[in-house]
Structure 1
Amino acid sequence: MKNLDYGVIGNCRTAALVSKEGSIDWLCLPDFDSPSVFTRLLDEEKGGSFAFLVSGEYVVTQTYLGNTNILSTRFEAPEGAFTVLDYMPRYRTSEKSHYLPPEVHRYLRVLYGKPKMRILYDPKMNYAGEEAVHTVFPNYIRTSSAVDAEDKIYLYSSVNFDVILSGEEFTLTDHQFFLLSYNQKLVAIDENRVLLDYERTKVYWLNWINRSREYRQYGDMVNRSMLVLKLMSYQHSGAMLAAVTTSLPESIGETRNWDYRFCWLRDASMSIDTLLHMKHQGTAERFIGFIKRILKSREDTFQIMYGIRGERELTEEILSHLAGYENSYPVRIGNAAYNQLQNDSLGYLMDVIYKYYLYFPGTLDEVEEIWEVVRNMVRMVLKSWRSPDQSIWEFRTRELNFVFSKVMSWVALDRASLIAELLHKDNYAELWRKEANGIKEEIHEKGWNEELQCFTQAYENTDHDSSLLLMQFYDFIDARDERYVKTVKAIKENLFHNGLMYRYKAEDDFGKPTSSFTICTFWLIEALFVIGETDQAREIFESMITYSNHVGLYSEDLDFETKRQLGNFPQAYSHLAFINTATLLSEEKKLSRFIRP
């Protein structure tokens, strides 16, 4: 059974997936959302990769180098052993500037003996839609597209270029390096330069994680998830990616294949909330800057998602030449969900903005700018909250009065009222509090099903929905409230299967869901914990730990039977939920993280 046994490397500009055998099977250059140059992840025959091929009795193991985003793949056999250190350079050049070029460094260290290998350097340009043409220069190999000669990458290496391109076997007698860059380098590239970037990058990540909160339990796993979230923060805008891949299927052979290389307000706001809690205010502050930039005027409306530079049109296309991950067709780029109505989205964002005002409100002009954003958001919520929407789950052909969308609309107005109080805008605070109370009253009246004794997915149905487990997390209802406790138990009884959670069971646009949405199981763990079912919560959590891959990474989904990872990878949603749950169980902290003045 194939699994997503990949490590991820990145530098807050782009990222690559490296298989547990050391093959780069996914890399987009120069940015996260650029066309891929290695696409084997989505087509094993056509996609292309960058690998070190060994024969014989080699044992291959892979780990991260401590608390960094540097990946170490060790090849060991009686004849010799070597380690591949993969990373993307990232380090500070001044207090406010970073060096984060669109490039991958691969450093080979000989450990003992005389290991033999072949190099497979097989880039395929533009999502493997265009053949690559290699041209050898004295200092590098330039690879360009056969269709567009200006689309090119550069490989610098200490290994003979003919050996690289021919794929012939050679003996590794000394340390070697490979530097694959989107740009031609303006400085001399040699081993010393590569090692300098390596040490600077290692120090950067160690310093970054050192600023995080520390936990006695699950500390190493929390740190790994923190490093993944940071890696997926786009430095140039502050946007947070949902994942670094496209079209990894939620279920093998089905068509639930989406491009996640974008910034959802929901996912990003949840990630920023977690980073704030873990004492990383800088990343959160950059995201607030992203929000300010996408609202260029008071009349601008919010979308549920944006491109990583703030793009509003994310036209969806199918790449018909690619077979898909394990032949799960189609492969998509772009995402048509960008124009959906999802009334929950602004609630998460307003929650983050409230924390912005509490923790680092900035200068007076910045505070005033964000206040305009808040008022604009409130206008949108007041206009839309009564309308049916497509929910947190992004149904493409269904609009209902989803209860959780109403809850998050309440969150938006509740936090807006608190922000107004902080700014001594009492008239706004009173008006918005009145509207928030009206939403809450309606939810308790129409969202609660007296016969089932629980809150249901929508006013119009009696379905169960995992998103309702979050009602207490956002302070809509007390964790000890009888209605919440009954809802948690009903959701668990109906959606918990083989140790994992369904999002919902009812048929959607593509039939009945057949895989577990990873974050939902973490939501259940937290919900059980706060209602007092602590032993159940810990038991499920300990099982979830074993479902991460070999380097501690989570995808979007898990197979109910085999527990294999499915869906886009690594998934920010899954990792932020792991952090929240791990810290809850580690600290046994108060029932809500929400802070009121």
Structure 2
Amino acid sequence: MKSLNYGIIGNCRSAALVSEKGAIDWCCLPRFDSPSVFARLLDEENGGHFSILTDRSYRIEQHYIENTSILSTRFDNGSDAFEVLDFMPRYLNESGDSYTPPEIIRHIRLLRGSPIFRVKYDPRLEYASEETFTYMKDAFIISLTNTKKFDSLFLYSDFDLEAITTGKEIALRKDGFFLMGYNEKIFVPTLERIRLEFERTKVYWLNWSDNTPSYQNYDAEINRSAITLKLLSYEKTGAVLAAATTSLPETIGEVRNWDYRFCWIRDASMVVKVLTSIGHRQQAKDYLRFVLDLLPDKDEKLQIMYGIHGEKKLTEEFLEHLSGYEGSRPVRIGNAAYEQRQHDIYGILMDVIHQQLTLFSNDIENGEEIWNITKGIVWVVGQHWQEPDKGIWEFRTEERHFTFSKVLCWTAIDRAVKVALLLGKREKARKWQPLADAIRKDILDNAWNDDIEAFTQSYGSSDLDASVLLMENYGFIEPWNPQYVSTVKAIGRDLSNDGLLYRYKNRDDFGLPSSSFTICTFWYINSLFKIGETDEAEALFEKLLSYSNHLGLFSEDLDFKTKRLLGNFPQAYSHLALIETAINLSTLTKEEKIIDALR
């Protein structure tokens, strides 16, 4: 059985996945949403990869250098040992700007003896849609296709280039390197330069992680998740990706697979709120700038998702030539969900805006533009909250009056009222409050089901839905309210499967889900904690953490039976919820000034 035992490396421009055996099986250059140069993840035979190969006598172990995104893969057979340090350079240059070239460095360090290894360097450009030609030049190896000769890939190394291209054995006598990049280098890299890039990147991540508060429990898990969320951000525009991959299926062999290399307003807003709460404010400033740039006109409606450069049309295509992850086809690029209507995005975005104004009221940028967005959101919600939508789970056919969507419509107006008061717009606040009250009454009148004693997925429904657990999180209802307590318990009885939660159990456009959407289990654990069931919450959290991969990373889904990771990877949703849950279950022990500043 294949596993998502991968580490992610990146520099907030692009990312790559490195297998537990040290093979780069997924990478898109020069940016996250570019065509892949390695895609063995989606096609074993034709996708392409960059592997370090040894004989079976070597034991392979892998870990991140603590508090960084630098991945160490160690090869050791007892007498001989070496280490591969994989990273994408990221640091501040002399002018204070971020240096994030579209390249990967594989720093090879001799640890002991005289190791022997081979290299399988097999790039397949343009999603492997046509033949890639790879050959040696004087100072590098170049890969290109016939149709896009300027869309090329360059590999530099201080190892023998012929040995690399032919796969001959390489005897390691001293440290060495591989530098693979989208651009030809002006100056040929040297080992000394590689070591400098390594140290600068290491220092950047150590400094970034130092801003994350420390906790008595789950400190390592919180920090790893925070770094992962940072790696899923696109610094150039402020966009935040849902995941680094496309087409990893929710269930093996089925068609539930999507391209997640885009910015969902919902996912990104949740990520930004969590990162801000643990001291990383710049992410929020960059993201709000991204949102403001999306809406140049006051009357322009917000889409549920955008490209990472703000692209508004994300046409979905099938890559028929790729066999898919374990044969799970089709492989998709683009995402047709961009055309859907989902009312919840307005509330989630307004929640982030309110957070930023509350925490940083004396240092908020773009105040007038934010006020314009606030007024626009109130107008849109006021016009459309009574209409059905596709809901948080993006049902591709039927629209309904989803409870979560209605709760987030209330959240949008509630936060808009609070923003108006913060900005001294008291008349607007008085004008908008009746709308918030009307939405609240509508939810309480229509979403509660007396027969099952719970708030349900949609109005008039008897189906339960894990998203309803967030009613408390957004302040719609108190955790001790008997209706909320009853809802949490009903969801636990109906949607839990060996400690993992269904999003819902009613059949959707593709049939009954057979895997657990990981964030839902985190939501449930949080809800148990909120209603006072702390022992059960802690036990379930420990159990869920044990299902991560060897590096503590989560994908979108978990198989109910095998507990294997499924879906796109790593998933921002999963890691933001991990942070929230871990903080709830932990105790802050130091750096309290950061938390005090955010209260």
Q: Same fold (TM over 0.5)?
A: yes
Q: State the 1:431 CA deviation.
A: 1.6
* Pairing 1:77-156 to 2, within 5 Å after superposition: 77-94=77-94, 96-156=96-156
- Cα distance in structure 2, aligned partners of 1:588 and 1:56: 45
Change (3 A) 1:204 1:506: same
Residue matched to 2:235 = 235
Structure 1 window deviating more from structure 2 (579-588 vs 197-206): it is 579-588
Question: In percent, how many aligned pairs have the same letter?
Answer: 51
Letter in 2 for 1:377: I
Residues 458-517 of structure 1: per-residue CA shift (max 9 Å, x gap): 013210000011110000000000000000000110000011000000100001100000
- Cα distance in structure 1, aligned partners of 2:469 and 2:587: 20
Q: State the 1:451 CA deviation.
A: 1.8
Q: State the 1:136 CA deviation.
A: 2.0
- Cα distance in structure 2, aligned partners of 1:108 and 1:517: 38
Letter in 1 for 2:366: E
* Pairing 1:566-585 to 2, within 5 Å after superposition: 566-585=566-585
- Cα distance in structure 2, aligned partners of 1:386 and 1:553: 39
Residue matched to 2:546 = 546
- Cα distance in structure 2, aligned partners of 1:93 and 1:172: 32
Q: State the 1:365 CA deviation.
A: 7.4
* Pairing 1:361-372 to 2, within 5 Å after superposition: 361=361, 366-372=366-372
The reply to whether residue 211 of structure 1 matches residue 217 of structure 2 is: no
Residue matched to 1:266 = 266
- Cα distance in structure 2, aligned partners of 1:460 and 1:257: 30
SS in structure 2 of the partner of residue 326 of structure 1:
coil
Change (3 A) 1:381 1:96: farther
Letter in 2 for 1:453: E
**Unpaired stretches in structure 2, ≥5 consecutive residues:** 590-594
Residues 390-416 of structure 1: per-residue CA shift (max 9 Å, x gap): 000000001000011000000000000
Letter in 2 for 1:378: V
- Cα distance in structure 2, aligned partners of 1:464 and 1:365: 41
Letter in 2 for 1:84: V
Change (3 A) 1:534 1:518: same
Letter in 2 for 1:476: F
Change (3 A) 1:370 1:109: same
Residues 210-232 of structure 1: per-residue CA shift (max 9 Å, x gap): 01111010001110000000111
Residues 321-356 of structure 1: per-residue CA shift (max 9 Å, x gap): 000000001100000000101111111100000112
Residue matched to 1:48 = 48
Residue matched to 1:517 = 517
Residue matched to 2:178 = 178
8 Å CA contact retained: 2:389, 2:401: yes
SS in structure 1 of the partner of residue 408 of structure 2:
helix
Letter in 1 for 2:145: S
- Cα distance in structure 1, aligned partners of 2:102 and 2:598: 42
- Cα distance in structure 2, aligned partners of 1:372 and 1:65: 44
SS in structure 2 of the partner of residue 569 of structure 1:
coil
* Pairing 1:353-368 to 2, within 5 Å after superposition: 353-361=353-361, 366-368=366-368
Residue matched to 1:343 = 343
Residues 175-225 of structure 1: per-residue CA shift (max 9 Å, x gap): 110000101112331001111110000000000000111101000111000
The reply to whether residue 404 of structure 1 matches residue 404 of structure 2 is: yes
Structure 1 window deviating more from structure 2 (2-11 vs 140-149): it is 140-149
SS in structure 1 of the partner of residue 214 of structure 2:
coil
Letter in 2 for 1:263: C
* Pairing 1:249-398 to 2, within 5 Å after superposition: 249-361=249-361, 366-398=366-398
Q: State the 1:360 CA deviation.
A: 3.0
Change (3 A) 1:150 1:587: same
- Cα distance in structure 2, aligned partners of 1:43 and 1:70: 26
Q: State the 1:94 CA deviation.
A: 4.9
- Cα distance in structure 1, aligned partners of 2:10 and 2:451: 51
Q: State the 1:587 CA deviation.
A: 3.0
Residues 96-133 of structure 1: per-residue CA shift (max 9 Å, x gap): 51000000000111111111111000000111112211
Letter in 1 for 2:517: F
- Cα distance in structure 2, aligned partners of 1:112 and 1:94: 36
- Cα distance in structure 2, aligned partners of 1:588 and 1:31: 37
- Cα distance in structure 1, aligned partners of 2:588 and 2:8: 31
Stretches (4+) displaced over 4 A: 361-365
Residue matched to 2:592 = none
Q: Given the two structures, how large is their TM-score scaled by the length of structure 2?
A: 0.97
Structure 1 window deviating more from structure 2 (91-100 vs 138-147): it is 91-100
SS in structure 1 of the partner of residue 178 of structure 2:
strand
8 Å CA contact retained: 1:519, 1:573: yes
- Cα distance in structure 2, aligned partners of 1:167 and 1:126: 23
Residues 66-88 of structure 1: per-residue CA shift (max 9 Å, x gap): 11000000001134111000000
SS in structure 1 of the partner of residue 240 of structure 2:
coil
Residue matched to 2:413 = 413
Change (3 A) 1:365 1:583: closer
Residue matched to 1:57 = 57
Q: Given the two structures, how large is their TM-score scaled by the length of structure 1?
A: 0.97
8 Å CA contact retained: 2:277, 2:598: no
- Cα distance in structure 2, aligned partners of 1:359 and 1:178: 44
Change (3 A) 1:554 1:40: same
8 Å CA contact retained: 1:361, 1:367: no
- Cα distance in structure 2, aligned partners of 1:362 and 1:103: 39
SS in structure 2 of the partner of residue 42 of structure 1:
coil
Residue matched to 1:224 = 224
SS in structure 2 of the partner of residue 179 of structure 1:
strand
The reply to whether residue 29 of structure 1 matches residue 29 of structure 2 is: yes
SS in structure 1 of the partner of residue 215 of structure 2:
coil
* Pairing 1:448-597 to 2, within 5 Å after superposition: 448-587=448-587
- Cα distance in structure 2, aligned partners of 1:468 and 1:9: 34
- Cα distance in structure 2, aligned partners of 1:5 and 1:364: 41
- Cα distance in structure 2, aligned partners of 1:365 and 1:552: 36
8 Å CA contact retained: 1:400, 1:460: no
- Cα distance in structure 1, aligned partners of 2:481 and 2:588: 19
- Cα distance in structure 1, aligned partners of 2:362 and 2:287: 14
- Cα distance in structure 2, aligned partners of 1:96 and 1:174: 34
Q: State the 1:6 CA deviation.
A: 0.2
Letter in 2 for 1:270: M
8 Å CA contact retained: 1:518, 1:558: yes
SS in structure 2 of the partner of residue 586 of structure 1:
coil
- Cα distance in structure 2, aligned partners of 1:94 and 1:461: 60
How many residues in Structure 1 have an aligned counterpart in Structure 2? 593
- Cα distance in structure 2, aligned partners of 1:563 and 1:52: 29
Q: State the 1:93 CA deviation.
A: 1.5
- Cα distance in structure 2, aligned partners of 1:349 and 1:186: 43
SS in structure 1 of the partner of residue 490 of structure 2:
helix
- Cα distance in structure 1, aligned partners of 2:425 and 2:103: 49
Q: State the 1:146 CA deviation.
A: 2.8
- Cα distance in structure 1, aligned partners of 2:535 and 2:148: 60
Residues 31-83 of structure 1: per-residue CA shift (max 9 Å, x gap): 00000000000000001100011113110000001110000000011341110
- Cα distance in structure 2, aligned partners of 1:188 and 1:321: 36
